[in-house]
Amino acid sequence: MTETDNREGAQPARRSAASEGACRGLGSRTAKQGASMLGAEAVVASLEAEGVTTVFGYPGGQAIKLYDALYGSEQITHVLARHEQGAVHMADGYARATGRPGVVMVTSGPGATNTVTGIATAYMDSVPLVVITGQVGRGVIGTDSFQESDIVGITMPVVKHSYLLQSTDELTRTIREAFHIAVTGRPGPVLIDIPSDVAGEEMVFEYPDEVSLPSYKPTYRGNAKQIRTACRLLEEAEQPLLYVGGGVVSSGATEELVALMDAMQVPAVVTLMGKGGVPASHPLNLGPVGMHGAKYSNMAMTEADLIIAAGARFSDRVTGRVSEFAPNAKIVHIDIDPAEIGKIRDADVPIVGDLKGVLAGMLECLAKAGAAPRDDQWVADIAAWRERYPFYHPNMAVNEEEDEIVPELVIAELGRQLDPDASIVTTEVGQHQMWAHQFLHRERPRTFLSSGGLGTMGFGFPAAIGAAVARPEATVVCIAGDGSFQMNSQEMATAAINGVPVKVMILDNRCLGMVHQWQKLFYGRRYSQTLLAPVPDFVKLAEAYGWEGERVEAPGEVAGAIARMLAAPGPYLLDVAISPEQNVYPMVAPGAALDNVMGAIDVAVGAVRTDVPAASGSPRARTAGAPSGAASPCAKIDAQFGGRWEVDPQDTGARLGQDGSTVDVRPEDWKTLFRAGDEGKEDRR
């Protein structure tokens, strides 16, 4: 496969100005071009030439010259974080919400090392950042001088590229290259380490418009032969599926992706990073897949005979046990980063290129061939699975305490009250993150921001501040857990002082929920260091920072409290009390195959969760007369019903395969479950 192919079917790269090497701002046309200035002033002038309007950061001794130069900028607003990690997450949220690179400026030593988690978070999720760190003078580098750290060496595994400036002669070229590298190809963070004596040297400011990097030539144009091969496989497939990752957001490929779904009636499953890349309201969007994905999405992935991975990287949280992942499927893998193709799962058709352009090429190829869906049975099958295995069912209410807040319904209520066209949601990491992925519908890209690859607790709140700075017209809400929120709660000061009206909704279970859930299910309820004391009082904490805040403890209070939160003119914290016994379901156990799903709701057996023990002392366990901590009645298998789980051993109501059941075939095989006609059913009997 070649990087450039001009044969019939190859599509021109649909590039942004950044990918073509153009400055985002005035570039060399800046009024400062040719002026004499200090290196620090040239750094600020370079940022202005790139069109930067916001910098997040925290000053210090070795960055003092940079901050002195920043003081005189009329173009750039600086947002002072309360911790360098928070500053990087803010820049990350800014970048995710806009597609433009976020910019960070910090000092040397601990200031620089505090950025590492934020940089790694952006690197794992392919977010463009330019991180500028102050450094000790060139003459003392390597002597362990005060507040010296080798930040270039420390961050090397988690940056797309890094620079240690040695001279003012390379200053403007380096900054120009840094922005170019950050946003082109697969986006990512770039670090520039600037010694303080370089910042203090006199120089003539000459900002370049062009970038010359012979060894860095990202492939944008997909290979024409590979595109035609992918189209042929799609035409021949009976059960095709799109597996959509964050590349659809980075590439801006939503329009092309939806057009392909419509033209060929291809359903799509969506990763955490791809959320919003396909409108939630689209009937072929199956939503979350993987460890906490829908059972019907996982079934579709397992039964597909063709999977088109569109800007996705086959994360372990999606694939489950790789050796058993999609056993019947051929794989078309589209990615702008060639290192991702074949890394986890071999591709039958690898296509290196920009997703937007490749999908456009596929659409043109299919149109020329007069391609059409083979039949509608696959879509009908998935629709039936979707009806049978919903994320939530009203009948579940009988298994909940009347006075207990159900977190899934809280998320759904927030979604009902948010304007999908004028809102951004960020999440922290944990159970609340998965509930948000499952129950919060997003219609547009760049409106759901979450730490996917690194899973960084403490990301969501500062990222929400960055998103709100970037898009002040949008309502920005951070969905948090009480554990995650406390990782960077000091940034409440940043929001208050800068008048950023961000909203935080904490699902407060006074434990580290996701680890607590794993300990419950897989470690014999040995809750080692996951139970959090009821400290702090989050409402009082909000008041201390000048925020509004309230706590709700009853289901009937939730809707009104969310309305008050969204209507508040300034920052607002809503503390929602939930039980530590609440679990995120469905779930594929770590290391299990994708079709081994626990806790899925099965409407055919009474709309209860299958293959999962009841919580100790829960209504379900008490109803069954079970002792505390015992398995629920759902954990008793009745082979008569195909190995499915019963609602209750004494229940004599209609069951799968019985008269009155809504499903009249036996679940012997996913593929044939909803397809067999009367003759097929007789044969199996």
Concatenating the DSSP letter of every residue in 563-627 gives: HHHHH-SS-EEEEEE--TT----SEEPTTSBTT-EES-EEGGGTSEE-S-PPPTT-HHHHHTTPP
Residue 660 falls in which region: left (phi positive, over 0), alpha (psi -120 to 50) or beta = left
pLDDT score recorded for residue 623: 38
Q: Which residues pair with 449 in a beta bridge?
A: 426
Q: What is the pLDDT of residue 7?
A: 31
Q: What is the DSSP letter of 337?
A: -
Mean pLDDT of 178-201: 97
**With 60 as the cut, is the pLDDT of residue 613 above it?**
yes
Per-residue confidence (pLDDT) for residue 10, from 0 to 100: 38
Q: Give the model confidence (pLDDT) of 324-360 as tens digits.
A: 999 999 999 999 999 999 999 999 999 999 999 999 9
More reliable by pLDDT, 402 or 640: 402
Count the Cβ atoms, other than its own, within 10 Å of residue 76. 16
Give residue 618's pLDDT: 43
Residues whose CB falls within 8 Å of the CB of residue 384, separated by 6 or more in sequence, listed in order? 673, 674
Query: Do residues 678 and 665 touch, judged by C-beta distance below 8 A?
Result: no
Residue 21 binned pLDDT confidence (cut-offs 50, 70, 90): low
CA 672 to chain centre: 34
pLDDT for 213 equals 95
User: Cα-flanking dihedrals φ and ψ of residue 538, to 5°?
Assistant: -65, -30
Residue 609 pLDDT grade (very low, low, confident, very high; cuts 50, 70, 90)? confident
C-alpha dist (Å) from residue 483 to 209, 401, 514, 529, 534? 46, 24, 10, 12, 11
Looking at the DSSP assignment, which residues form a beta bridge with residue 134? Answer: 194
Residues 341 and 351: their CA atoms lie apart, in Å, by 8
Q: 671 pLDDT exceeds 60?
A: no
Percent of the chain with pLDDT over 90: 81
Which tens digits make up the pLDDT trace of 47-98?
999 999 999 999 999 999 999 999 999 999 999 999 999 999 999 999 999 9
Which tokens go with 626? 């079970």
pTM of the model: 0.88
Query: What's the CA dihedral at 517, 320, 448, 393 to 10 degrees?
Result: -60
Return mean pLDDT, the chain. 88
Lowest-pLDDT range of 276-290, 293-307, 638-652:
638-652
| Strands, sheet with 161-164, edge to edge from the N-terminal-most edge strand | 77-80, 54-58, 102-106, 129-135, 189-195, 161-164
pLDDT value at 619 more than 70: no
The Cα 353–Cα 15 span in angstroms is: 11
Question: pLDDT at position 394, please?
Answer: 74
Name the DSSP class of 645.
B
Whole-number Å distance between alpha carbons of 348 and 354: 19
Query: CA–CA separation, 109 vs 132, rounded Å?
Result: 13
